[in-house]
Amino acid sequence: MKKLYFVMALLIVASMVLTACGASAPTAEDCTKAEVFCVGLVTDVGKINDKSFNQSAWEGVQKSNTDGVADVVQFIETADAKDYAKNISTFADAGYDAIVTVGFGLGEATGAAALAYPNIKFIGVDQFLDWEYDTDAANDVANHTGLNFPEDNAGFLVGALAAMMSESGKIGAVCGTDVVPPVWRFGEGYKAGAAYADGVKGTTTEVFVVYHSDVGFDKTFTDPEWGAQTAKSMMDQGADSIFGCGGLTGNGAVTAAAQAGAYGIGVDTDQYLTLTEAAPRMLSSAMKMITPGVADLLVKAKDGSIKGGNAFGSAGYAPFHDLDSKVPADVKAEMEKINTGLLDGSIKTNVPPVKP
């Protein structure tokens, strides 16, 4: 028998998740057939349509469906962090072949599930697996793959851009909690990029970076009102570019900036395409190539070539879109130089992997 299937688990899945591309909810027969490849995604706290992190990962799962890799794709939205394990096991007990979990916060629950369900492939977005680098092979989990990105590079790029485009010499970033290493790397990379640009241009830029670390995980990424208020406070101090890195919280900051006539800078995906209310003033986005990264790993999960441990995706910056004519040629040229330098290692962000 390919998988252990529980009817009750399937009923829970059917009630909790949406089905992509018009496919019906899987039946017992569907999920136990060797030729049917089922993929489930569990979001971090927040919504699947957050126009950022969760959504980008879900689009990667959907891509696997449209590309003919996955036959059934579904998701569960996590409302409370205490439900991480339950949501993962809902898919696992229903016999899914691969489960994608989104975010640093799900790392522990995903690792535990991988041990409990050794025949299922687990892909954890932003889950750095320390055990790959220790000397104890007993810690290795062959069916848990962490998909990670150089967020500091992406933050560095948009920080340099914001500094070069600033007329006031003041820029800001509104972020989720710095307890999450990728968020911290975005914010610190932003500061480092601005400093680098100052060195190139002979300017001095004041950078405001605020992390929403005063609340729990259930609030830090889902607080657009706080994001907007924090952005307004930065703009009151003269900031003319606002980088939002933190789900709906960051979206609130970027939208507030755009509505006030400042530059907005998105995160994770090209938010010009998803955060339409801010699009006319969206200067760029600090991009993590989450969608192709997830889709590529699902191909490997299906063909059996995926390996446990850390996989690394790429990062960059989004096009200038409506503001392209506002970006001087020398700034565009410098951005390409910086991007090339980050890719070949000749430019370093000097941002550690985790907050000291």
Residue among 199, 201, 211 nearest 172 (CA): 211
pLDDT at 7 over 70: no
pLDDT at 27 (0 to 100): 53
Q: pLDDT class for 50, splitting at 50, 70, 90?
A: confident
Cα separation, 176 vs 184, whole angstroms: 8
The 8-class DSSP code of residue 23 comes to: P
Pick the range with the lowest mean pLDDT from 31-35, 112-116, 249-253, 278-282.
31-35
Q: What is the pLDDT of residues 331-349, one digit of tens each?
A: 999 999 999 999 999 999 9
pLDDT at 10 (0 to 100): 44
Q: What is the pLDDT of residues 12-49, one digit of tens each?
A: 444 444 333 344 544 545 877 788 999 999 999 878 99
- DSSP secondary structure letters along 253-304: HHHHHHHTTSEEEEEES-TTTT-GGGGGGEEEEEEE-HHHHHHHHHHHHHHT
Give the mean model confidence (pLDDT) for residues 1-22.
42
Burial class (CB in 10 A: 0-12, 13-18, 19+), 107: buried
pLDDT at 251 over 90: yes
Pairing relation of β-strands 282-288 and 315-317?
A: antiparallel
pLDDT at 30 (0 to 100): 80
Check the CA dihedral 182-308-71-292 and report its sign.
positive
Residue among 251, 247, 162 nearest 207 (CA): 162
Q: Which domains does the chain have, with CATH numbers?
A: 7-149+291-312 (3.40.50.2300), 151-288+320-344 (3.40.50.2300)
pLDDT at 278 (0 to 100): 97
Residue among 177, 167, 113, 168 nearest 145 (CA): 113
Cα separation, 130 vs 101, whole angstroms: 17
Residue among 143, 105, 151 nearest 127 (CA): 105
